[in-house]
C-alpha cells in the first residue's frame, strides 16, 4: 500500500504545509467498445493508470474536439454532493505527482454571465485571463447555473499516472473486493464521503490544535491539515477492512438496520417514509465502525 503517513496532530503543529489532493470521481461511460459501470471505470483507471479525457460539458462552449480530465479540489464536506452526481467511486491523487511542473492541471475560473457574454461576443477577457484560458472557464450564475462548489480542475487531453501518485481509492464497502485490494492502493469506504461530519469535526479540532501550537502570526494551512488527516484515515480504514472482526461487526450491525427502508437510489428513509438524515447517519454501517477504533486524534 502506498501513501506517506504521519500523525495529523504532529503535522498540524508544524503550521503551514503544502496541500494538494485532487479527486477524480468515476462514472459510467462508454469507450466505444463497451459500457463500463462506475466500479469498472474505477478498476480500469486504477489498473491501467490511465484516464481518458472526455468532451467537457459546460455553459461556456469550448472548441469542438477538446477533451479534458476533470478533478475536484473540494474539501471532504463537499465531496458528497459530487459523489451523488457521479458515483461513490473515485481516485484521490496527489497533485504534485500528476502535475510535477504545476502547469498542466489548472483550476476552473468561474465567471458571471456578463463576463462570459463579453468573451463570446466581444472577445474581451477579464484581467488576468486570455484566449489561452478558454478551456478553464465556466459560468457561475447563482440560482440558475452554478457549479463553482465543485472547485473543478481540468487537464487537457488524457492523464497517464504512476502508481505512487494515487493517495487512495474511494468505494462502497459492498464493492471493496480482493480484486480491488490487489491494485495495491489504500481505500476509504465511500460512507466517509457521504457522512463527512465526524471527520470534519476532527479536522476542525486539528486546525484549532495547530493554532494553539503555532507561533503567533503563523498562517495555518487548513487544507493541508485536512489532506494529512485523510491520508491517515485511509491507512486506518484500509487496515480495518483487513481485520478479521470487520465481517462479524458488519453482520451484527445489519440486524440494527432491518427496520430501515432503502430507496432504489440508496437513500435511507425511516419507516413512515419521511427523510431522517440523523437516522441515516446513525445507521450507516461504516461510520458506526468508528466506535471500534482507538481515538488517535
How far apart CA 25 and CA 115 sit, in angstroms, is: 29
- 106 has pLDDT over 70: yes
Arithmetic mean of pLDDT over the chain: 77
Residue 125 lies in a domain: yes
Pairing of strands 187-189, 166-171: parallel
Residue 282 lies in a domain: no
Q: What would the pLDDT profile of 15-30 be if each residue is shown by its tens digit?
A: 323 348 999 999 888 7
Residue 52 lies in a domain: yes
**Are residues 214 and 196 in contact, defined by beta-carbon separation less than 8 angstroms?**
no
Please tell me the pTM assigned to this model. 0.77
How far apart CA 48 and CA 43 sit, in angstroms, is: 8
- 61 has pLDDT over 60: no
Angle (nearest 5°) at CA 194 between 23 and 221: 50
Longest dimension (CA), the chain: 65
| Owner of C-alpha cell 481518458 | 52
pLDDT confidence band for 297 (50 / 70 / 90):
very low
pLDDT at residue 146, as a whole number: 73
Residue 163, all three cell numbers:
502508481
Q: Nearest CA to 233 among 188, 271, 195, 264?
A: 188
How far apart CA 263 and CA 82 sit, in angstroms, is: 19
Higher pLDDT, 181 or 61: 181
Residue 129 lies in a domain: yes
Residue 66 lies in a domain: yes
Q: What would the pLDDT profile of 131-145 be if each residue is shown by its tens digit?
A: 888 888 888 877 766
Q: What would the pLDDT profile of 201-257 be if each residue is shown by its tens digit?
A: 888 989 999 999 989 888 888 988 999 989 988 888 888 777 655 566 556 555 555
Residue 154 lies in a domain: yes
Q: Nearest CA to 225 among 79, 13, 80, 72?
A: 13
Residue 194 lies in a domain: no
Which residues form the domain of 94? 15-164
How far apart CA 111 and CA 141 sit, in angstroms, is: 8
How far apart CA 237 and CA 246 sit, in angstroms, is: 11
How far apart CA 297 and CA 233 sit, in angstroms, is: 10
Residue 128 lies in a domain: yes
Q: Look at the chain and report how many structural domains it folds into.
A: 1
- 153 has pLDDT over 90: yes
Amino acid at each position: 500500500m502506498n501513501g506517506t503517513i504521519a500523525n495529523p496532530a504532529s503535522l498540524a503543529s508544524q503550521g503551514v504545509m503544502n496541500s494538494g489532493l485532487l479527486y477524480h470521481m468515476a462514472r459510467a461511460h462508454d469507450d466505444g467498445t463497451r459500457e463500463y459501470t462506475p466500479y469498472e471505470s474505477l478498476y480500469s483507471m486504477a489498473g491501467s493508470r490511465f484516464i481518458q479525457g472526455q468532451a467537457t460539458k459546460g455553459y461556456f462552449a469550448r472548441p469542438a474536439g477538446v477533451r479534458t480530465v476533470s478533478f475536484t479540489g473540494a474539501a471532504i464536506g463537499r465531496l458528497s454532493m459530487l459523489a451523488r452526481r457521479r458515483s461513490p467511486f473515485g481516485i484521490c491523487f496527489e497533485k504534485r505527482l500528476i502535475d510535477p511542473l504545476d502547469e498542466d492541471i489548472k483550476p476552473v475560473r468561474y465567471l458571471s454571465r456578463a463576463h462570459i457574454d463579453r468573451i463570446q461576443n466581444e472577445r474581451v477577457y477579464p484581467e488576468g485571463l486570455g484566449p489561452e484560458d478558454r478551456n478553464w472557464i465556466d459560468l457561475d450564475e447563482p440560482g440558475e447555473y452554478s457549479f463553482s462548489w465543485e472547485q473543478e480542475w481540468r487537464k487537457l487531453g488524457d492523464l497517464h499516472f504512476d502508481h505512487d501518485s494515487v493517495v487512495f481509492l474511494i468505494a462502497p464497502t459492498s464493492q471493496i473486493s480482493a480484486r480491488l485490494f490487489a491494485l495495491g492502493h489504500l481505500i476509504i469506504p465511500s460512507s466517509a464521503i457521504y457522512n463527512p461530519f465526524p471527520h470534519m469535526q476532527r479536522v476542525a479540532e486539528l486546525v484549532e490544535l495547530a493554532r494553539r501550537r503555532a507561533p503567533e502570526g503563523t498562517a495555518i494551512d487548513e487544507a493541508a491539515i485536512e489532506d494529512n488527516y485523510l491520508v491517515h484515515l485511509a491507512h486506518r480504514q484500509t487496515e480495518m477492512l483487513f481485520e478479521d472482526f470487520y465481517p462479524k461487526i458488519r453482520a451484527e450491525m445489519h440486524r440494527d438496520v432491518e427496520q430501515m427502508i432503502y430507496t432504489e437510489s440508496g437513500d435511507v428513509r425511516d419507516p413512515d417514509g419521511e427523510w431522517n438524515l440523523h437516522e441515516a447517519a446513525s445507521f450507516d454501517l461504516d461510520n458506526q465502525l468508528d466506535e471500534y477504533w482507538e481515538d488517535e486524534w
